[in-house]
Chains A and B, each alone.
Chain A
Amino acid sequence: MSDTLLEIKDLKVYFPIRRKNLFSGVTQYVKAVDGVSFHIEKGETLGLVGESGSGKTTVGRSILRAIEPTAGKVTFNVDGETIDLSTLLDKELRVFRKNMQLIFQDPYSSLNPRMTVRDIIAEPIVAQKLAKGDEVDERVREAAALCKLNLEFLRRFPHAFSGGQRQRIGIARALVSRPQFIVCDESVSALDVSIQAEILNLLMDLQKEFGFTFLFIAHDLSVVAHISKRVAVMYLGQLVELAPTEDLFYTPKHPYTEALMSAIPEVDPNQEMNPVNLSGEIPSPINPPSGCRFHTRCPYVQDICKTDEPKWEEIEEKHFVTCHFANTLTLKGAKMPPSVDAA
């Protein structure tokens, strides 16, 4: 595919933990990400959702090699070249890093309180020696202007700003190295609704204008639906479903997706919520269940689910799912909201 920017194949991230045994230390692994494959097209936003502990943050970070993946391949198509990130040496990686950036969740702890806003925004290009002297200032001002930050703010320190403004500073810092690919890890979760809307608009505008590619990780499903073209659902280190946003929300094919959709609180008091009750807790990623990982909580579980691992299949165009019964189950999607009557 020519318009693919990023391709991830069989990504695995295992964290070793040592269990003290009476006789020997046995090393076990937390399988945070266990065989995830997907691709992201140029200029697209891919949403990634899942419960806490499903491994979505680890996926985002290991793509950037902020966490070293245990196995798997991450390839970028930049300027007609295909670059395999996993084989890059540290030095090469550092040079390549300008192409990818991360926007963090917490605008309060992700900005260094002792640096001025200008220095914070300039840091990526200074660290990577992408610009010198006046050019640094010029690029900082350009990035700040894109994020609608008042240029007089550049001399101040982060404490003087509200949450929304801080998140703009974080976005300006991500944009300054002119990246192709940006990972937004819960980037709007800590913001108030009115500010959140503004930041989402900003991200969508920037994407339209400059063709950025986003991996948008969040647990708020309506936010993800709003900004993403396609959405992937993660459960216990694996993808269970990936489809264009509307297909995924309204015609989910995996029982776990159905449960997620049914749990979205409806802003209409007259619509009764009927959340699918998932029994039990999310199992431990140290010893994930055999067969289909969701079988311990799945309301439609059959014998085969306990023994055989379902395959990642494209059952409709661009609609991927891992479930033995994806074709036979009729699942309910998110409720179509009634026409809006807010004055």
Chain B
Amino acid sequence: MAKTKEMTNNNLLEVKDLKISFKTDEGIITAVDGIKFSVKRGQTLGIVGESGSGKSVSTWSIMRLLPKNSIIDKKSSIKFQQKSGKVVEITKFKSNSRELREIRGGEVALIFQEPMSSFSPVYTIGNQIMEAVLQHRDVTKEEAQEIAIDMLDRVGISNPAQRFKQYPFELSGGMRQRAMIAVALSMNPSLLIADEPTTSLDVTIQAQILELMNELQEELGMSIIFITHNLGVIAQVADEIEVMYLGKILERGTTNDIIHEPQHPYTQALLKAIPRLDTIGERLTAISGDIPSPLSRPIGCPFYTRCEKVMPGICDVKMPEPTQLSDTHTVYCFLYEEKNV
């Protein structure tokens, strides 16, 4: 492996030129097309995008949890700083290597959308948390049990010692989601990937889970990548937001940049399409057309087929280069590129 390089800017994770394709019967589908992002220590990066935007694929690749028919392009780079301070290149590992197993769970943890199907139904909750702890921490069984019960308590599950002995079906949806967060956090990861963690939950429970994640982040100082399609949720949790569409990042900035001064036509349209409480009864501004099929991706800017401000002959030829609007705010759109020239 190449010499370990230091990370810039207090970054925990640096992803460059990430390109992931899938071999399918209908041909090769490129789900993520040359994206670049980084996650700072102790911060939350929000990734917003509609279905098929590649938000899950790009982050699951950090743990190399992609199906067998996936191809990570040779030029892709995912650099991650381990707890020991060593910087590793995740794309270089074999998918079943010991190094990778250590990172999965121990350094990077994942919580999914469906609390129903992410636990094994035949083991108790406690058993499943303990298993994770024993894998990644050098502790005895008794200590692992203590850690597990303590974690269940921390995520706000009442009566943790009793819940420890229960099976997943005995817990409600909100509790199971908390239990999953407990599993993820019991290994003390430095990066938590939350893939739509509150999507299937009721608003009241969603609010509790978001609060809990904020608290735990402050306490444990971990970084979070938060994936969702709900802009309201992301505005509450993220420090930085990245907007993805069809495998490309279209805009990146601080939460304030994106929510208050969105520049890309897609981000603007997305924000206008959300029903808000002050527009009761009015027509919503929909984005016309459908998301193109990944098999027939548009050439150029992926959004041009639905964009109101499309410039024929420019947008449909090549992907725009990033334009730096401020220190924190970057947009990929020809509207702004021209102004700079």
Contacts and interface: CB of A to CB of B under 8 A. Distances in A.
B276 interface: yes
A269 B236 contact: yes
B87 interface: no
B175 A198 contact: no
Contacts of A62: none
Contacts of A268: 235, 259-260
Nearest to B281: A226
B120 interface: no
Q: Which of B173, B236, B284, B287 has the most CB of A within 10 A?
A: B284
Contacts of A204: 283
Contacts of A265: 203, 206-207, 210, 230, 232-233, 235-236
B317 interface: no
Contact of A262 (B207, B210, B235, B283): B207
A329 to B, nearest CB: 18
A137 B337 CA distance: 51
A196 B273 CA distance: 8
B290 A340 contact: no
Contact of A341 (B260, B283, B288): B260
Interface in B269-287: 269-287
B280 A245 contact: yes
B51 interface: yes
Interface residues of B, number: 54
Given A278-B204, A281-B175, A341-B260, A200 B284 contact: yes
Contact of B204 (A163, A260, A269, A340): A260
Interface string A314-343: 000000000000000000001111011111
A342 B284 contact: no
A192 B202 contact: no
Interface stretch (A76-84, A90-98, A114-122, A216-224): A216-224
How big is the A interface, by class?
A: 35 or more
Contacts of A52: 173, 202
A277 interface: yes
A264 B232 contact: yes
Contact of A275 (B208, B233, B283): B208
Q: Which of B175, B230, B272, B275 has the most CB of A within 10 A?
A: B275
Contact of A334 (B202, B271, B277, B286): B277
Nearest to A270: B256
A225 interface: yes
B260 to A, nearest CB: 6
Interface string B219-232: 00000000001111
Given A194-B273, A265-B210, A226 B203 contact: no
A264 B202 CA distance: 10
A138 interface: no
A266 interface: yes
Contacts of A282: 172
B147 interface: no
B287 A267 contact: no
Contact of A197 (B232, B259, B273): B273
B269 A194 contact: yes
Interface string B199-222: 000111111101100000000000
A249 interface: yes
A193 interface: yes
Contacts of A165: 290
Contact of B276 (A192, A195, A262, A267): A267
A226 B279 contact: yes
Contacts of A246: 280
Interface in A220-275: 221-223, 225-227, 229, 245-246, 249, 259-260, 262-270, 273, 275
B275 A162 contact: no
Q: Which of A165, A201, A259, A262 has the most CB of B within 10 A?
A: A201
B293 to A, nearest CB: 8
A267 B235 contact: yes
Interface string A91-133: 0000000000000000000000000000000000000000000
B291 interface: yes
A263 B207 contact: yes
A267 B277 CA distance: 11
A164 interface: yes
B275 A197 contact: yes
Given A196-B273, A270-B256, A342 B262 contact: yes
Interface in A168-226: 192-198, 200-201, 204, 219, 221-223, 225-226
A281 B174 contact: yes
A267 B283 contact: no
Given A197-B284, A342-B272, A273 B173 contact: no
Contact of B232 (A51, A267, A277): A267
Interface of A: 51-52, 162-165, 192-198, 200-201, 204, 219, 221-223, 225-227, 229, 245-246, 249, 259-260, 262-270, 273, 275, 277-278, 280-282, 334-337, 339-343
